[in-house]
A and B are shown apart, each in its own frame.
Chain A
Amino acid sequence: MEFHSALPIYLQVMSFIKRDIVNGTLKPGDKLPSVRDTAIQYAINPNTVSRVYRELEIEGISYTKRGMGTFVTEDKDKICQMRAEMAQELVSGFLEGMGQLGITAKEAIELIHQSSGSG
């Protein structure tokens, strides 16, 4: 797994996990791997993983069952909302990049149509 070394690792791992939830690799109610297994999987510090799990819980994306582990939320609305937010973030970044090239939103949409072969 490639990380950006100057950005907080916990935020990067949070987005990997959110992406897996949004695209269905992780399903509502699925158990997340243990802190140690996740640390080994991503080759990152275990305390960073603990922080990831804490933050996901605060955001309502996961919950902990005492002595059982951490699970993906079963709240489908929450997952839809997260999907919309993540998509919105990508779109904003994309439009900002296009703006820096002097390309308007309208032209950008045209380009998307062309690349995806439906224009």
Chain B
Amino acid sequence: MLECREITKNYGRKTAVDHVSLKIEPGRIYAMLGPNGSGKTTLMKMAVGLVKPNAGAFYYKGQPIGIESRKEIAYMSTEPYFYAWMTAKDIGKYYEDFFEDFSMKRYRDLLARMELTEDLKAKSLSSGMMAKLKIAVTMARDAKIYLLDEPLNGIDLLARDQIISSVLEAVSSDVALVISSHLVDELEKIVDTAIFMKNSHLVEVCGAEEVRIQQGKSIVDKYREIYGHGGEELC
């Protein structure tokens, strides 16, 4: 469905993503795991055309990504990207203008569940509230692929449950989700597949249940194996 082949991105002398090939299949939830600086964000940004690769490319349904693929791929970045003066309502309208698949009704629903109101101004939001707003506006799209960069960062436990529910509601046989995080255990139960990134390389892709069945290990155990015990990234 979404695929990259031998994709590479350099920032000056530093290589952010190094010859990564990956396939995202519909009907699945993926966790993209790895410490900060391992290349997760750059990879996601290349999937939506926000960063141009130096080599290799992303393909959606067999075609190079572009205007058409953006209609069906919803991306949520880590950094907030709204104007300070915007209210939650303005942000909804902004999305409605941009994306045909945006549903104002679903957006209002999600805002209510996240305990946010439409009159809240972007500049007055705490980081947790901003994180919830970003999720609401992204998941209000009826996309085929959702790429969520660190959606669980800085979010309290109850809001986390809401976010996880909205993720589980979104997935269906023709929809895929990719969630990047370093909160490994939060994603343990909800993902089909874990993608491990390390030092700009893709190191392993494994099925979460398969790891539990065949190796008697959790994804957290795999994470420790791959990244060693420098556990500051581990929650």
> A residues bordering B, Cβ < 8 Å?
3, 5-10, 36, 39-40, 42-48, 51
A36 / chain B contacts, CB cutoff of 8 Å = 168-169
A6 and B189 form a contact (CB under 8 A): no
Secondary structure type dominating chain A contacts: helix
Could you list 16 further interchain pairs (A-B, Cβ under 8 angstroms) beyond the known A39-B168, A47-B28, A48-B189? Answer: A3-B189, A5-B188, A6-B212, A6-B218, A8-B209, A9-B189, A9-B209, A40-B169, A43-B165, A43-B190, A45-B29, A45-B168, A45-B189, A45-B209, A46-B168, A46-B171
B171 / chain A contacts, CB cutoff of 8 Å = 46
B213 and A8 form a contact (CB under 8 A): yes
Query: B123 within 8 Å of A by Cβ?
Result: no
A6 and B190 form a contact (CB under 8 A): no
B191 / chain A contacts, CB cutoff of 8 Å = 45
B209 and A43 form a contact (CB under 8 A): no
B178 to chain A, nearest CB (A): 14
Total of A-B residue pairs, C-beta within 8 Å? 53
Most A CB atoms within 10 A — which of B171, B190, B218?
A: B190
Interface residues on B, range: 20 to 34
A45 / chain B contacts, CB cutoff of 8 Å = 29, 168, 189-192, 208-209
Q: Give the contacts of B1-34 with A (CB-CB under 8 A).
A: 27-29
B192 / chain A contacts, CB cutoff of 8 Å = 45, 47
Bound: A43/B213 CA distance, A? 19
12 CB contacts below 8 A, A to B, read A5-B185, A5-B188, A9-B209, A10-B209, A40-B168, A43-B161, A43-B164, A43-B165, A45-B191, A45-B208, A45-B209, A48-B189
A39 / chain B contacts, CB cutoff of 8 Å = 168
A40 and B165 form a contact (CB under 8 A): yes
Closest to A7 in B: B212
Bound: A45/B28 CA distance, A? 9
A49 to chain B, nearest CB (A): 10
A6 and B216 form a contact (CB under 8 A): yes
B218 and A5 form a contact (CB under 8 A): yes
The 9 A-B residue pairs with the shortest CB-CB distance in the complex, in nearest-first order? A5-B218, A6-B218, A8-B212, A44-B189, A8-B213, A39-B168, A40-B168, A5-B188, A40-B165
Bound: A71/B11 CA distance, A? 56
Bound: A64/B139 CA distance, A? 31
Query: B93 within 8 Å of A by Cβ?
Result: no
B220 to chain A, nearest CB (A): 6
Choose among A5, A8, A9, A43 the residue that contacts B168 (Cβ–Cβ < 8 A): A43
- Also in contact, A6 and B217, with CB within 8 A (given A44-B190, A46-B171, A48-B209): yes
B185 / chain A contacts, CB cutoff of 8 Å = 5
Choose among A3, A5, A40, A44 the residue that contacts B219 (Cβ–Cβ < 8 A): A5
B218 / chain A contacts, CB cutoff of 8 Å = 5-6
Bound: A39/B218 CA distance, A? 19
B221 / chain A contacts, CB cutoff of 8 Å = 6
A24 to chain B, nearest CB (A): 27
A3 / chain B contacts, CB cutoff of 8 Å = 189
Choose among B161, B164, B220 the residue that contacts A5 (Cβ–Cβ < 8 A): B220
A9 / chain B contacts, CB cutoff of 8 Å = 189, 209, 212
